[in-house]
Amino acid sequence: MDGLGREQIFAATPVSPGIAIGRAWPFRRSVERNSAPEDRTVPPEAVDGEIARFRQARSDTREELTRLQQQLREQLNSGEAEIFDAHLLIVDDHTLVNEVENCIRNERKSADFAFHKVITNYISVLSAMPDEYLRERALDIRDVAARIKAHLRHEEADHLDHLSDRRIIVATDLAPSETALLDRDKVLGFAIESGSATSHTAILARSMELPALTGIPPGLLDGLSADDTLIIDGFTGKLILNPEPRTADTYRLKAEEAGRFYSNLRRESMLMPETADGFLVQLAGNLDTDSGLKELTQAGACGVGLFRTEYLFLNRRTSPTEEEPFEIYKKMLSATEGRPIVVRTLDAGGDKIVSHFDRTPEQNPFLGLRGIRLCLRERPDLLRTQLRALLRAGVFGNLKVMLPMVSCMAEVTEVRFLIAELQKELKREKKEFVSRLSVGAMIETPAAALQTDRLAEVVDFFSLGTNDLVQYTMAIDRSNERVAYLYQPSHPAILELIARTVRAARRHNIWVSVCGQMAADPVYTPLLVGLGVHELSMEANAIGAVRRVVRGLYLHEAEAAARAALNAGSAEEALAISRALLRKVAPQVAKLVAADRD
Ligand code: PEP
Ligand code: MG
């Protein structure tokens, strides 16, 4: 692949929307940041010196991270700087520090080698985890490890801050801390091989509004030169190497349109998300931590439709106490000024493995003790703690609880009994609590969807977890790439289950939300509105486009599309129906997000 070669198009994963066009900056690290130091044994009299050197390197790293965190806070003015809190925790992790110091002391290894040995072990354990969240945390550890190693070597960490002109970075990976420090005047976007939409690097790219792709072909970087021109399309995932002038012009136009479009969308954040004929569809936000609340408010979210609590349990050796979530919910409630927050109880199991749990291995974890099953059968202690925190924090605002992976009514009634028992307990303890906590069920198994008429008798709301509903209905593992072609949210079977859930909710006068990824993809908005859901819950940056689509629709048109899609012979046919309506009511959105999906 020579510079200025012919046009080539590659498919990657879009993780941050936007278009970038410009020259490439192939980022090949001079020293592999985590390269192995020499296995060096030191004389006994040097042991104390090595330990002191390790402590100094940690202290320098701590100082550096705190400085970076401060810088990021000033630049972004958002909660993303909290990412460095996790990094700081790693620097001061007692077990890690003890293991390294023991290795220096007992095996008389150099500080560099002892640290490398211990940290490599940590990284390889985490990297092998089936849970994507945990694998991504291995990237954080790698990032911190590289800094400590650089300080041990008295080197400056590899930085990306000497770009002379505006470029698109192409690299094997980018650490979150490297991403945070990218100069937004110089960096147009980036394309990397590793990571996913849930990595901290991707989260940062979205906050910094930098178009970004992950999963680019592994060989691409090798042949790339600084003379090559690139286009990255963070909407569709396309990477175009050395585009023909005509292609570049098309994308320049698309970039201009996207820029105008997004700034218009931001101006629309105060508009009501209702159809042209006045049917209100609430738009709420999904959060993994409490740090994204500000972005949600700016995007005009009506509240938090899904707060995933798994993050509270990851990266730690013990489960949180009651006080920790209590304080978080209290803080969130005061920031949302009366808007509702729906907290989901721990959804561990499946691919979400909490490392400090002592679990019996399962052959089919997605069909195993996951979500509410795990809490009820194996960890009622954790369920009690979570519910007590919710009951107490509920006093400070509009807090609701929702249960993941429900498949029987008994699971809900058991939780309701527990809530009643905990209320008595809190009363005895003279603690403040809410006497009425709204309880919802996630509808993400076909069993739950088919039983919504009965379930509606025992819950206050439904929230359709379409990520899992698709997985369990289509009988495909949602993380298995070989069956990804069957991951079809528009399959008439899925639409039927959604329609059924909405009918049951309406019959029983309770509300129904969709909080899976389907809610964030404007291509499905016409169908979901037509099926009659009350609320769509998604990431902050997806809200603008979905609001635009909702406002362009007439309810009767959306309903007709939904009816036709329910009767379609395939997911493709149903999707085409939705896309056709999308093109009619929100052509700009369609152009950006759906143009390449025919
Ligand atoms: C879902 O299944 O759609 C959902 C929102 O939950 P999660 O992706 O966390 O399983
Ligand atoms: Mg789910």
Taking the C-alpha atoms of residue 403 and residue 310, their distance in angstroms, rounded to an integer, is 13
CA of 517 to the centre of ligand 1 (A): 8
Contact criterion met (CB below 8 Å) for 445 and 405:
yes
CA of 515 to the centre of ligand 2 (A): 9
pLDDT band for position 155 (50/70/90)? Answer: low
Identify the three-state secondary structure at position 321. coil
Q: Which of 217-221, 342-346, 594-598 has the lowest mean pLDDT?
A: 594-598
Indicate whether 357 pLDDT > 70. Answer: yes
Non-local CB neighbours of 138 within 8 Å, separated by 6+ positions: 122, 123, 126, 127, 129
Question: Given the CA of residue 463, which atom of ligand 1 is nearest to it?
Answer: 5
Taking the C-alpha atoms of residue 252 and residue 231, their distance in angstroms, rounded to an integer, is 9
Whether 127 lines ligand 1, by a CB cut-off of 6 Å, is: no
pLDDT in tens, 389-405: 999 999 999 999 999 99
Structure tokens at 416: 């309701």
Taking the C-alpha atoms of residue 453 and residue 171, their distance in angstroms, rounded to an integer, is 51
State the average pLDDT over residues 24-41: 76
State the average pLDDT over residues 546-565: 98
The pLDDT, as a whole number, for residue 597 is 47
Most confident among 12-26, 250-264, 440-454, 515-529 (mean pLDDT):
440-454
CA of 375 to the centre of ligand 2 (A): 15
Whether 466 lines ligand 1, by a CB cut-off of 6 Å, is: yes
Region for 359 from its dihedrals, namely left if φ exceeds 0, alpha if ψ lies in -120 to 50, beta otherwise: beta
Which residues are near ligand 2, the ion (C-beta closer than 5 Å)?
Answer: 444, 465, 468
- List, in sequence order, every residue forming a beta bridge with 14; answer none if it has no partner: 213
The two beta strands, 535-538 and 461-464, are unpaired
> Residue 487: phi, psi to the nearest 5?
-80, 85
pLDDT in tens, 273-286: 999 999 999 999 99
pLDDT mean across residues, the chain? 88
Angstrom CA distances, 80 to 66, 295, 521, stand at 13, 11, 24
DSSP run (H or E) holding 503: helix 492-507
15-34 burial by CB neighbour count: b if 16+ within 10 A, else e? bbbbbbbbbbbbbeeeeebb
pLDDT band for position 37 (50/70/90)? Answer: confident
Indicate whether 202 pLDDT > 90. Answer: no
The pLDDT, as a whole number, for residue 506 is 97
Taking the C-alpha atoms of residue 258 and residue 250, their distance in angstroms, rounded to an integer, is 12
The pLDDT, as a whole number, for residue 598 is 46
Candidate of 288, 289, 306, 308 to mutate for ligand 1, largest count of ligand atoms within 8 Å of Cβ: 308
Using alpha carbons only, give the angle 8, 13, 17 rounded to the nearest 5 degrees. 100
Whether 468 lines ligand 1, by a CB cut-off of 6 Å, is: yes
Catalytic residues: 200, 515
Whether 465 lines ligand 1, by a CB cut-off of 6 Å, is: yes
The residue length of the chain stands at 598
CA of 549 to the centre of ligand 1 (A): 23
State the average pLDDT over residues 280-301: 90
List, in sequence order, every beta strand (DSSP E) within 303-378.
304-308, 341-344
Indicate whether 504 pLDDT > 90. Answer: yes
> What is this structure's pTM?
0.71
Neighbours of 380 (CB within 10 A): 12
The pLDDT, as a whole number, for residue 352 is 65
Non-local CB neighbours of 370 within 8 Å, separated by 6+ positions: 347, 348, 349, 350, 352, 404, 405
Q: Which of 78-92, 240-254, 508-522 has the lowest mean pLDDT?
A: 78-92
> Residue 78: phi, psi to the nearest 5?
-140, 175
Contact criterion met (CB below 8 Å) for 278 and 266:
no
**Which residue, by CA, sits nearest to atom 6 of ligand 1?**
465
Non-local CB neighbours of 122 within 8 Å, separated by 6+ positions: 96, 138, 141
pLDDT band for position 355 (50/70/90)? Answer: low
Ligand nearest to the CA of 197: 1
Nearest Cα residue to 370 out of 477, 233, 517, 226: 477
pLDDT in tens, 132-144: 677 777 878 888 8
Indicate whether 539 pLDDT > 70. Answer: yes
Candidate of 467, 476, 518 to mutate for ligand 1, largest count of ligand atoms within 8 Å of Cβ: 467
Indicate whether 210 pLDDT > 50. Answer: yes
388: exposed, middle or buried (C-beta count within 10 Å: 0-12, 13-18, 19+)? buried
State the average pLDDT over residues 39-47: 89
Nearest Cα residue to 501 out of 458, 552, 462: 462
Indicate whether 353 pLDDT > 70. Answer: no
Taking the C-alpha atoms of residue 258 and residue 17, their distance in angstroms, rounded to an integer, is 9
pLDDT band for position 2 (50/70/90)? Answer: very low
CA of 408 to the centre of ligand 1 (A): 18
Angstrom CA distances, 326 to 296, 322, 335, 412, stand at 21, 6, 14, 22
Alpha-carbon dihedral of residues 43, 44, 46, 51, nearest 10 degrees? 130
Structure tokens at 349: 């199991």
State the average pLDDT over residues 175-200: 79
State the average pLDDT over residues 253-260: 86
- The end-to-end CA distance of the chain, in Å, is 30
Non-local CB neighbours of 458 within 8 Å, separated by 6+ positions: 409, 412, 413, 416
Taking the C-alpha atoms of residue 242 and residue 8, their distance in angstroms, rounded to an integer, is 7
Taking the C-alpha atoms of residue 78 and residue 176, their distance in angstroms, rounded to an integer, is 15
**Residue 315 CA from chain centroid, whole number:** 16
255-275 burial by CB neighbour count: b if 16+ within 10 A, else e? beebeebbeebeeebeeebbb
Taking the C-alpha atoms of residue 38 and residue 589, their distance in angstroms, rounded to an integer, is 55
pLDDT in tens, 443-492: 999 999 999 999 999 999 999 999 899 999 999 887 665 777 788 999 99
Neighbours of 375 (CB within 10 A): 29
Taking the C-alpha atoms of residue 554 and residue 324, their distance in angstroms, rounded to an integer, is 45
